[in-house]
Structure 1
Amino acid sequence: MRRKGSGSMSVKSKWTKTKWLRADRALRRFVPETRRFSRSSLRAMTGRYRTVYFKPTDGTGGSGIARVVRLSPRRFSVKKDMRTFQVSSAGSLYGRLKGIARGRSYLLQKGIALRTSGGRPFDVRMTMQRSGGKWVPSALFVKLGKRNKVVTNYHQGGKLALIEPTLRRSGCSPVQINRYKRRLKTLGRQTARCFDRHSTRFKELGLDVALDRQGRLWILEVNTRPNFNALKSLGDKRLHRTVMRYGRQYGRTR
């Protein structure tokens, strides 16, 4: 754990944060199965799920992530960045992923089939910030993925968008949109309480939440140093002004 110059605690390890979430009774059902990368966990995860994500434990901005799809019991497709290759055994899959990892720690996470809006997959960012001792849901927006990209991240060609029009284009009614917004804010508060149990020095959290094609919400990960700069790319600058106003209360200036 590190304390950042912003005055807020930062935890880089996705494994640590996933363990916290999965140990929380209110939250564990929202967390896709996640395991540390090893030969045995790879065999188990690719046997159980058709799609598995291969993520660096300490990665940021969506870099280093690969998507593994089981095509048949022994054949797999792997996509990283814009490159796709196939392997024809579990052993060669393990070898290729080890090559991508280059000695770094990696996780395997159950793949979630993201809902799409205008043909583009998206996930939701729920930003929580501490203000006057209380957690406040300060920003809610979506990250629209670039077609054919593995992740939706802004730094990987994704685009930020407002939540209402995105959900509307994905087929949600006004009633459903309001229900999702309420549920996302509840998830944000529950996650903030979970992190508070490990340290009261957290001042900001950015939840990446997937909405799957069945309408279920999943917490993909929690960022303890969320990127606020990307919010400037939105035509409406109010969300950026809001998160910076709260950020200044605990010393974050950018």
Structure 2
Amino acid sequence: MKARLIKYPGRKWLKHESLWSEPELRKYLPETELFTTQAFIQLVERHAVLFVKPDVGMQGQGIMKITRDGDKYVIRTASQRFVYRDVNKAALKLKQIIGSERYLVQQGIDLIKIDGNPIDFRALLHLKPNGKWKFFGIMGKIAAPNRFVTNHSSGGRAIRLYQALRVTKEDGAEWDERIKKLSGLIAHAMKRHFPKITELGLDIAIDTNHQIWLLEANTRPQFQLFRYHSDPRLFARIASSVRMIRKHSV
């Protein structure tokens, strides 16, 4: 796939297509398609949970969760719930909600949870002047009760990796190393496709079978979560790195 000279590629589909073209990364990517009623119907028959999300968006806004439960299809938005027994009617309702916007439909991952509240993670990397990626670390986000998105703007809160996995700090360090290695592979792939990028915030999921997934790669990521990292100095180092990167990108 041809490299794109876009500094901040915002479209989720563009980034998914780019990473899907990398054979070594495919097993980490949920099945994802551009939303059409046909694509939705095909995916919902293969996966009991789907997420429908804007192609361009942030902070979890506009995301819908669709659950297939027996002969029922349940659509949840941030504020509403719709139930259908006909998959075609569910698809048409989604199309009505979406309107003319471009959306994606994505395989839902059975995320690890605490007290029923799903958790995902943010890994943060910056490109150093020597051309190598620096991995700053990973922090978890736990959704508020009865929410299916983990973003702070939706009531989510920070949690450390080992706490989310309910393991010792030593075992948590091994998980951190696994995610660091995968993050490096993803960062190098993203750089091949988008040579101008200098920052990455990777939205990582760990499912109940402890498989790691990449939900999304963000190229101008927020990093407020890292205020809660176990290293109290890390946030200041990240903020300094961000200022330096963005100063030289102007």
TM-score > 0.5, shorter chain as reference: yes
- The aligned counterpart of 1:117 is 114
Select 1:245's aligned residue among 222, 240, 244: 240
Q: CA deviation at 1:103?
A: 1.1
Residue-pair matches, total: 244
CA distance in 2 between partners of 1:16 and 1:176 (Å): 35
Alpha-carbon offset, residue 143 of structure 1: 0.7
Answer whether contact 1:53 1:65 (CA < 8 A) is retained. yes
Q: Measure the CA separation in 2 of the matches of 1:234 and 1:216.
A: 23
TM-score in terms of structure 2 length: 0.90
Counterpart check, 1:48 vs 2:46: yes
Distance 2:5 2:189 in 1: 18
Provide the rounded CA distance (Å) in 1 between the counterparts of 2:176 and 2:229: 19
Q: Which moved more, 1:208-217 or 1:83-92?
A: 83-92
**Correspondent of 1:20 among 13, 18, 36:** 18
Aligned CA RMSD, in angstroms, stands at 2.1
Please say if residues 51 and 65 of structure 2, whose CA atoms lie closer than 8 Å, have aligned partners that are also in contact.
yes
In the TM superposition, what is the alpha-carbon distance from 1:232 to its structure 2 partner?
4.2
SS of the residue aligned with 2:204? strand
List runs of 5+ in structure 1 lacking aligned partners.
4-8
What is the aligned counterpart of 1:62 among 36, 60, 63?
60
Contact 1:80 1:150 survives alignment (8 Å): no
The answer to whether 1:77 aligns with 2:45 is no
Q: Runs in 1 of length 4+ with deviation above 3 angstroms?
A: 173-176, 229-237
Residue 204 in structure 1 maps to residue 199 in structure 2: yes
Q: What SS does structure 1 have at the residue aligned with 2:246? A: coil
Q: CA deviation at 1:118?
A: 4.8
For residue 218 of structure 1, what is the amino acid of its counterpart? W
What is the SS of the residue equivalent to 1:10?
coil
Q: 1:144 aligns to what? A: 142
Q: Distance in 1 between matches of 2:195 and 2:63?
A: 31
Alignment identity in percent? 28
| Aligned counterparts of 2:114 and 2:126: Cα–Cα separation in 1 | 28
Q: Structure 2: 5+ residue runs without aligned partners? A: none
1:180-191 superposed matches below 5 A = 180-191=175-186
Which residue type is aligned with residue 147 of structure 2? K
